[in-house]
Structure 1
Amino acid sequence: MTSAPSAPDISAHALLAALLRQVPFLTAADIAAFLPLWRKRTSLKRGDFLLQAGQAEHHLYFVGEGTLRIYYPSRSEEICVGFAYANTLVCSFPSFVAGQPSEYCIQALRRSELIGISRTDFSAMVEAYPNFARFWRLELERAVVGRIEREIDLLLPEPERRLARLLARSPHLFQLIPKKYIASYLRMTPETLSRLR
């Protein structure tokens, strides 16, 4: 893994800028103030860890390229709880917010390029720029809705219903993520997933 506070990756910055320009209430000045704060550049090979359980999360990352899985390591298995891919944000959110050691691991499933902003810089940006405070609140609301949908998925006893809900919500995952990790995410065996597919 390469991680350095060097010049940011231009392509990841360009992708992030393009996404931010789609947010109607963010001004050009807001975006211009925000982009230079993404100073941490990280390159991961397949199997590399962005974060391991027990480490504190100090950065929020934007994925410019690649795919990653977020999982909880238990004694008996690695329980997949989420994924990140190009044009998404990723971090161990409880650790990022509280500054406590993470219970989760974040691992690259293929070569990945990310840029990161420190918790300190991000918090200062949200405090100083009301439009970014609004943007972050909307992102958090969307994340909470996603977590509720995920909880419903896990409460359903029928694996076919869990699969149907994921296919309806995020069909693109099946093009990006190896099936064994999707099976873990759906709390079923790879064999069950193959049979249902």
Structure 2
Amino acid sequence: MGYLREYYDNIIRLQENEWQFIAAHFTRRTFRKGETIIAAGAREEYLSFIESGMVRFFVPGEENDLTFHFSFHKEFTCAYDSFLTRMPSEYTLQALSNLTLWSISHSDLQKVYAQTQAGNYLGRFAAEQLFLAKSRRELSLLKYTAKERYLQLFTEQPHILRQVPLKYVASYIGITPQGLSRIRKQIS
């Protein structure tokens, strides 16, 4: 849980008793590469911090899945809308590599919010970060061409290009793998 503590300490200085209370509500979960973390149609029960590995978010399709987000090492991840609303998720989360998570259940998170001031602050911070990422992603899809979105990955999220298979990168920027191949040839 060292990375989780480090993440929290970069945001707010926790008192040791607050950290102990928060940490006691997290459990370790592991997934193998390719394994489903939560399937579309299931309700998200956990907010998770990635100790190691990466996660792909996608809408399952009959012919092709539509990838729309990735989460990486030292980030929080979950089907957040399902987690908040307690409704089934409309998308799937999949381990893109072997994955180790530290997870807190919805009910335990409510206890942390109710009993610690730091928990409330951290929850608000995490929600704000998720909102900002979602807003940037939506604006990118509305304002830029596929080529421009691909070039943005070089400057804003180069780790995606280094770690994620190209077929998922193509889906993420809204094109086919063949379209991505053409873009890559144009810029090389």
- Tell me the TM-score normalized by structure 1: 0.86
Give the conservation status (yes or no) of the 8 Å contact 1:20–1:31: no
Amino acid at match of 1:29: N
**Residue of structure 1 aligned with 2:25, choices 29, 33, 37:** 37
Which of 170, 178, 182 aligns to 1:191? It is 178
Conserved? CA contact 1:71–1:105, under 8 Å: yes
Deviations 1:112-152 (A, max 9, x none): 11121110011111122122212221221221111111111
Q: Which whole-Å deviations, capped at 9, do the CAs of 1:38-85 have from their partners, x for residues lacking one? A: 12x322112111111111111111111111201111334211111122
| Secondary structure in 2 matching 1:172 | helix
Instruction: Give the Cα separation in 2 of the matches to 1:62 and 1:133.
Output: 17
Could you list the runs of 5+ residues in structure 2 that have no partner in the other structure? Answer: none
CA contact (8 A) 1:68 1:106 kept: yes
Aligned residue number for residue 97 of structure 2:
110
Whether the 8 Å contact between 2:38 and 2:92 is mirrored in structure 1 is yes
Residue identity matched to 1:74: G
Separation in structure 2 between the aligned mates of residue 101 and residue 93 of structure 1, nearest angstrom: 11
RMSD: 1.6
Instruction: State the partner residue of 1:148.
Output: 135
Task: Map residues 37-186 of structure 1 onto 2, 5 A cutoff.
Answer: 37-39=25-27, 41-156=28-143, 158-186=145-173
Contact between 2:49 and 2:74, CA under 8 Å: does it hold in 1?
yes
Structure 1 residue 108 displacement after superposition: 1.1
Q: Distance in 2 between matches of 1:129 and 1:80?
A: 36
Equivalences, count: 184
Per-residue deviation at 1:190? 1.8
For the Cα contact (< 8 Å) 2:12–2:118, is it kept in 1? no
**Could you tell me how far 1:25 is from its partner in structure 2?**
4.0
In the aligned structure 2, how far is the partner of 1:83 from the partner of 1:32?
30
Q: Distance in 1 between matches of 2:2 and 2:157?
A: 25
Give the Cα–Cα distance (whole angstroms) in 1 for the partners of residues 106 and 150 of structure 2: 35
Q: Kindly, what percent of the aligned residue pairs are identical?
A: 27
Contact 1:156 1:162 in 2 (8 A): no
Greater Cα shift, 67-76 or 93-102: 67-76
Greater fraction of residues in helix: 2
Report the AA paired with residue 77 of structure 1. Answer: N
